[in-house]
Amino acid sequence: MRRTTPRRRWLAAALLALLAGLPAAAAGTATAADTDAATDQRDTAAYDRGYELGLEAYRYGLPLITTQKTFRHQTSIDVSNDRGFGPVNRFNPIRRFVTPEDRSVVAPNLDTLYSIAWLDLSRQPQVVHVPRVEDRYFVIPLMSPYTENFANLGSVRRTAPGDYAIVGPDDHDVRLPAGVRKVRSPYDRVWIIERIYADNDSLADQRRVNRIQDRTTVTPLKRYGDRDWTPPVPQDPDTTIHEAPLPTGMTFYDRLGRLLEQFPAPVADRPLLRQLAEIGVGPGKRPSADDSLDPDLVAGMKDAAAAGAATVLGDAQAIYGQVFNQFNGYLVTPTGTYGTDYRLRAVVTQVGLGALRSNESIYPLALLDRTGAPLTGAKRYVVHVPAGGLPPVTDDGFWSLTLYDNAGFIVPNAIDRFAINDRTDLHYNEDGSLDLYLQATRPTDPQQAQNWLPTPEGGFRLLWRLYATRTSAIPGVLDGTGWRAPAIVPAS
């Protein structure tokens, strides 16, 4: 029997805390009563095959289904509400930074203001206007339904101001007006989560960013050049946001079949889809209505769907355990492009949906301190950054360190400081190094208090963000041979 180390137990507890923060529909598990009652008469081989391939289908389909859920949720109203919700083919801005009272977004950053757009390219291309943005980081990332960040417009790409036609797969050969540049999308649906740097301590700077948000627009290609065209305004606006829960049981696989038909899988996915066809999962298929499937195989599929969310969190636990020492106690993975690494793609979907490519942002995450114990406000910690050891971002980029509770939300504290970043007024040691202090109570030393990031009473996690990392530094950050996030060490 393999011995369970304390670090593994603590890591499991930390990941379970993450699981507890998920919607109930995503975190369901089969009960012993559900499975034990029928065990004696079960075709074990069929059940095991259904369970095994059902889990593979869950991992594979989670990005598609979660993105669809998010689309339905965010576009359930037909006017922008200044919180990112609104109609398709429109930028719907979020005009202020989140506060501890905001519980709608998990792990929000406190560095950029967002604008959300869902593009429908099925009828015609949509033209995105990129305004002039000077002296600040911004990105307009284009995400596929499979959560692939297939293209970016922004400061890292040195995107010139102007008009960019986002064209779907049936319009790749479309002729465009002079001056309009083409960006090809592999699908008729594109998700954009625009990020624009804003000083979270300056309302004046945030208003400047609001004006940039207003100048970032979407126009149907057929209306491009029509100076009199404005987006239609509904006479009777629907402002009621509708929740869209994740499907459960066999409905999960049915939904996956509809989405695979709507958004055909890449060629590289065909080997897996041939396997999933064995359990009736595939484009246009409805395994819940497939009478040819063995009932025990279906029972395995149902249990796999119920265990899917916990399995993906288990995958995250395994990855974190594998890289814990390599990355100084942090979880670091490439994001935004996954190929056939469906396991990693599912993990990122569940804990960080909408993550960018690594050349735009890298996200070292810590749930444990360097000794392997869970982070908790009952302890004090020091994060020592050696001289020259700050994140290797470009002059156009920035870094931040944000604290969240174990559900992924910022928590109130006495000084309203929820993050430390490269704009924070910090005290440096004489040798140029930096010590950050993480604890629930204010340090008595004024210099330590200047570098204090308040912690909640309970458990918490820390997330570094490196926006616009220097190109030469990216490989080392991603494999642990270069810059590593500084260790979180319990104070003596």
Kindly state whether residues 143 and 174 are assigned to the same domain: yes
d(C-alpha 316, C-alpha 323), whole Å: 11
Q: Can you give the CATH number for the domain in which 430 is found?
A: 2.60.120.600
Q: What pLDDT does residue 475 have? A: 98
| Rounded alpha-carbon distances, angstroms, from residue 178 to 162, 216, 218, 298 | 11, 20, 17, 56
Q: Is residue 468 part of a domain?
A: yes
Contact 50, 306 (CB under 8 A): no
Q: Is residue 350 part of a domain?
A: no
Q: Is residue 237 part of a domain?
A: no
- Rg over alpha carbons for the chain, rounded to the nearest Å, is 24
Cα–chain center distance at 411: 20
Q: Which of 323, 339, 365 is the last residue of a domain?
A: 323
What DSSP character marks residue 110?
A: S
Kindly state whether residues 375 and 425 are assigned to the same domain: yes
Contact 158, 133 (CB under 8 A): no
Kindly state whether residues 205 and 307 are assigned to the same domain: no
Kindly state whether residues 316 and 263 are assigned to the same domain: yes
* pTM, to two decimals: 0.91
Q: Is residue 159 part of a domain?
A: yes
Kindly state whether residues 388 and 254 are assigned to the same domain: no
What DSSP character marks residue 274?
A: H
What does the angle CA 170 – CA 171 – CA 176 come to, to the nearest 5 degrees? 180
Find the helix or strand (DSSP H, E) in which 59 lies.
Answer: helix 44-74
Q: Is residue 341 part of a domain?
A: no
- The domain of 207 spans 77-223
Kindly state whether residues 83 and 167 are assigned to the same domain: yes
Q: Is 132 helix (H, G, I), strand (E, B) or coil?
A: coil
What does the angle CA 481 – CA 483 – CA 486 come to, to the nearest 5 degrees? 115
Number of residues assigned to the chain: 492
d(C-alpha 328, C-alpha 157), whole Å: 30
Kindly state whether residues 202 and 149 are assigned to the same domain: yes
Kindly state whether residues 304 and 272 are assigned to the same domain: yes
Supply the angle between the helices 250-262 and 44-74 in degrees, to the nearest 10: 60
Kindly state whether residues 133 and 43 are assigned to the same domain: no
Q: Is 119 helix (H, G, I), strand (E, B) or coil?
A: strand
d(C-alpha 67, C-alpha 12), whole Å: 27
Q: Is residue 329 part of a domain?
A: no
Kindly state whether residues 385 and 452 are assigned to the same domain: yes
Kindly state whether residues 297 and 428 are assigned to the same domain: no
Q: Is residue 236 part of a domain?
A: no
Contact 15, 314 (CB under 8 A): yes
| Rounded alpha-carbon distances, angstroms, from residue 448 to 384, 436, 463 | 12, 8, 21
Kindly state whether residues 293 and 267 are assigned to the same domain: yes
Give me the residues paired with residue 115 across strands: 93, 194
The low-confidence residues of the chain, meaning pLDDT below 70, are: 1-41
Q: What pLDDT does residue 77 have? A: 94
| Strands ordered across the beta sheet of 126-130 | 180-184, 162-167, 126-130, 217-220
Q: Can you give the CATH number for the domain in which 83 is found?
A: 2.60.40.1610
d(C-alpha 332, C-alpha 355), whole Å: 12
Give me the residues paired with residue 382 across strands: 437, 489
Q: What pLDDT does residue 257 have? A: 98
d(C-alpha 64, C-alpha 337), whole Å: 14
Q: Is residue 242 part of a domain?
A: no
- Total domain count, the chain: 3
Contact 443, 437 (CB under 8 A): yes
d(C-alpha 18, C-alpha 91), whole Å: 31
Q: Which of 411, 421, 334 is nearest to 100 (CA)?
A: 411
